[in-house]
């Protein structure tokens, strides 16, 4: 039915199959939208957040998906600025994933604030001292960059490309894409950092607080670094999942392995920095506030020292070692496991720096606060997942996302026009 708009000679599933798939994702999306509307019309009493958990699941989701969306800026950086040409075969997909992550983050932020209609006050009455102001500006600008990067991919759709104007527009945009990519990279370095700054500057919260240089706490740099390190792993993981679902190979191994190798080195260096940061925090920053390390890892039902071990050793050192070693990253399982661990690691890091901060008491006469999100929070957090699946599905079906697909799947090419 829709074969006329399907790109080139690529084989895609039947329309009804596609419709079924989309409606399944759509149902989840609607559930999320329903929860979103509840939050907007009834207010944030729909959540399980409270005055101790002003930041909760949503802020974690924002931080995590933006870190994961880091694959876009870092792949772009490698492709356009460092000149790793092979990566052109995955950069499209990295951009789409990045776009999904960033737009999702903004949707969640739109639900998360108590007065969404006044959300623009963050720009209008901007406080230059606030990390969140920096985040808001960079995030919004970068989303525009991602849209600009996404447009040429859309313009490559077979039907659109037939229109000469769009064909030319797409061509022209491609040729200046390096400029946007560079802008994007710059913005990303900043807002990933600002997100790290969000918790790092909280000098009233010894668990989160980090010293640093000038106005930037160490978490500023660690966040950028970890996003650059783990984002590509997420791109790899999503690519592998896409390959699994479509039953086709879409990106050549050498491309994946290159990205994996760079990622491995990034994770490795990041985790060394993270360990240094943690040791300095334990030995210098914390004691000055009267806290010992174990004050934050005991006397509560959830946050034990295991979480630090999991984050640094199992989800940091281990994936770094796997990906750095040629044998590791060339092994099918090794690659996937390392990617999963890296993604998990960055998610735990963001979790800890949002939720454990809220959970741990600072006043001596307060106690640990535990929290479990309401279904509305969960639904709205899953919403981006469904939304992402739908964007990816449409993009994959109608746009030439993977330049190597034709080459890798010669026998599945549609017969003629």
Partner 1 sequence: MKIGRRSFLSLGIGGIAGIMLSPLPWKLMDDSAIWTQAWPWTPVPPKGEATYVNSACTLCPGGCGISVRKINGRAVKIEGIEGHPVNDGGICVLGLSGLQLLYGPTRIRFPFKRVGERGAGKWSEISWEEAISEVAQKLGDLRKNGQSESVACLSGNDKGTVPALFKRFFSAYGSSNFMRIPSVSDSYELAVLRSSGQKAQLAFDIENSDFILSFGSGIIEGWGSPVHMIRANSIVRKAGGKIIQIEPRLSNTAAKSDKWIPINPGTEYALALGIANVIILKSLFNKNFVDSNTSEFNKFAAFVKSVYSIDNVEKITGIKKETIEALALEFAGAAKPVAVCGRGQGKVQGSLGEVMAVQALNALVGNINKKGGVFTVSDHRYFTLPGSVPDATKLANHFTDEVKSGKYTAAVLFVYESNPLYSLSDSKSVREAFAKIPFIVSFSSFMDETATNSDLILPNHVYLERYEDVYAASLPIPVISLSSPVVSPQFDTKHAGDVILKIAKKMGSPVADSFAWNSYDSYLEEAFGDNWKVLSEQGFLEDRTVALAALITASKKFDFTAGFTDIKSLYTPLVTEGDPDKYPLFLIPYDSMRIASGYIGDPPFAVKTVEDTVLKGNDILVEVNPVTAKALGLLEGNSAIVETARGKAKVKIHLFEGIMPGLVAMPRGLGHSAYDNYLAGKGVNINELIGSLEDPASGLDAAWGIRAALIKA
Partner 2 sequence: MKEEKSDKSAKKFGMVIDLDKCTGCGSCMVACMAENNVPFKEDESKKLVSITWMRVYRLTNGKSFPDTEICYLPKPCQHCGGKGEHGHSPCVSVCPATATDYNKETGIVSQIYTRCFGCRYCMAACPYHARYFNWWDPVWPKGMEEYLSPNVSVRMRGVVEKCSFCFHRYQLAKDKAYYEGRSDIGENEYQTACAQACPAGAITFGDLNDSGHAVYELKKNKNAFRLLERLQTNPKIYYLSSRQWIRRAGDNYLKNEK
Structure tokens, 320? 């770094």
Count of residues interacting with partner 1 (CB under 8 A): 7
CB of 163 to partner 1, least distance (A): 7
Residue 24 CB contacts under 8 Å (≥ 6 apart), including other chains: none
Contacted by 165, from partner 2, partner 1, none: CB < 5 to 8 Å by type: partner 1
CB of 163 to partner 2, least distance (A): 42
**Residue 213 dihedral angles phi and psi, to the nearest 5°:** -115, 140
- Rg of the chain's alpha carbons, rounded to an integer? 22
Query: Residue 37 and residue 29: Cα distance in Å, rounded?
Result: 12
Q: Whose Cβ is closer to partner 2: residue 86's or residue 112's?
A: 112
Measured from the CB atom, the residue of 75 and 194 that comes closer to partner 2 is: 194
By the rule CB under 8 A, 159 interacts with partner 1: no
Q: Which of 50, 120, 253, 279 binds partner 1 (CB under 8 A)?
A: 120
Question: What length does the chain have?
Answer: 417
Residues 6+ apart with CB under 8 A from 301: 368, 370
- Do residues 108 and 58 touch, judged by C-beta distance below 8 A? yes
Question: Smallest distance, Å, CB 366 to partner 2?
Answer: 7
CA distances from 76 to 85, 86, 214 (A): 10, 12, 28
The one of partner 2, partner 1, none whose footprint includes residue 367, by CB under 5 to 8 A per kind, is none
**Member of 5, 20, 82, 163 binding partner 1 (CB under 8 A):** 163
Helices vs strands, H then E, count in the chain: 19, 2
- Indicate whether 333 belongs to the interface with partner 1 (CB under 8 A): no
Report the residue number, 130 or 412, with the smaller CB distance to partner 2: 130
What would the DSSP string read from start to end of 351-409? HIIIIIHHHS--STT---------HHHHHHHHHHHHHHHHHHHHHHHHS---TTHHHH-
Nearest to 80 by CA among 166, 156, 161, 145: 145
Q: How far is Cα 199 from Cα 56, in angstroms, rounded to an integer?
A: 13
- How many angstroms separate the CA atoms of 5 and 43, rounded? 42
Question: Considering the complex, what minimum distance in angstroms separates the CB of residue 231 from partner 2?
Answer: 24
Residue numbers of the site for partner 2 (CB under 8 A)? 43-45, 49-55, 112-116, 118-119, 121-122, 124-127, 129-133, 136, 198-199, 201-206, 287-292, 295, 357-358, 362-366, 369
165 binds partner 1 (CB under 8 A): yes
For partner 2, which is the closer residue by CB, 36 or 148?
36
Answer yes or no whether residue 117 interacts with partner 1 by CB under 8 A: yes
CB of 168 to partner 1, least distance (A): 11
CB of 164 to partner 1, least distance (A): 8
Residue 1 vs 363, nearer CB to partner 2: 363
Q: Contacts with partner 1 in 87-116 (CB under 8 A)?
A: 115
Residue 123 makes contact with partner 1 by CB under 8 A: no
Nearest-angstrom CA–CA distance, 54 and 235: 31
The SS3 assignment for 304 reads: coil
213 DSSP β-pair partners: 216
- Judged by the rule CB under 8 A, the positions of this chain that interact with partner 1 are 115, 117-118, 120-121, 163, 165
């Amino acid at each position: 039915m829709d074969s006329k708009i399907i790109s080139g000679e690529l084989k895609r599933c039947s329309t009804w199959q596609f419709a079924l798939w989309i409606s399944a994702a759509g149902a989840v999306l609607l559930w999320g939208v329903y929860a979103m509307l509840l939050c907007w019309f009834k207010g944030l009493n729909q959540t399980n957040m409270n005055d101790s958990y002003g930041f909760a699941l949503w802020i974690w989701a924002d931080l995590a998906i933006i870190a994961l969306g880091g694959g876009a800026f870092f792949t772009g950086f490698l492709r356009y600025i460092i000149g790793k040409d092979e990566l052109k075969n995955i950069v499209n997909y990295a951009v789409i994933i990045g776009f999904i992550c960033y737009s999702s983050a903004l949707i969640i932020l739109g639900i998360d604030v108590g007065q969404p209609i006044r959300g623009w006050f963050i720009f209008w009455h901007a406080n230059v001292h606030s990390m969140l102001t920096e985040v808001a500006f960079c995030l919004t600008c970068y989303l525009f960059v991602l849209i600009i990067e996404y447009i040429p991919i859309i313009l490559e759709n077979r039907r659109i490309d037939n229109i000469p104007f769009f064909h030319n527009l797409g061509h022209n945009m491609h040729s200046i894409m390096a400029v946007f990519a560079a802008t994007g990279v710059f913005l990303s370095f900043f807002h990933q950092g600002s997100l790290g700054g969000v918790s790092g500057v909280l000098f009233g919260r010894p668990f989160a607080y980090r010293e640093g240089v000038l106005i930037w706490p160490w978490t500023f740099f660690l966040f950028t670094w970890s996003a650059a390190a783990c984002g590509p792993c997420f791109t790899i993981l999503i690519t592998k999942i896409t390959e699994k679902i479509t039953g086709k190979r879409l990106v050549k191994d050498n491309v994946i392995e290159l990205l994996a190798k760079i990622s491995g080195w990034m994770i490795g260096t990041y985790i060394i920095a993270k360990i240094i940061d943690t040791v300095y925090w334990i030995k210098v920053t914390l004691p000055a506030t009267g806290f010992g390390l174990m004050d934050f890892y005991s006397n509560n039902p959830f946050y034990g020292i295991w979480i630090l071990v999991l984050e640094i050793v199992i989800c940091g050192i281990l994936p770094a070692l796997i990906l750095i070693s040629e044998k590791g990253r060339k092994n099918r399982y090794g690659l996937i496991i390392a990617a999963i661990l890296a993604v998990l690691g960055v998610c735990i890091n963001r979790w800890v720096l949002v939720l454990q901060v809220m959970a741990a008491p600072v006043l001596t006469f307060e106690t640990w606060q535990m929290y479990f999100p309401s279904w509305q929070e969960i639904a709205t957090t899953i919403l981006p997942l469904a939304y992402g699946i739908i964007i990816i599905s449409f993009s994959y079906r109608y746009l030439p996302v993977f330049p190597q697909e034709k080459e890798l799947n010669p026998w599945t090419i549609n017969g003629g026009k």
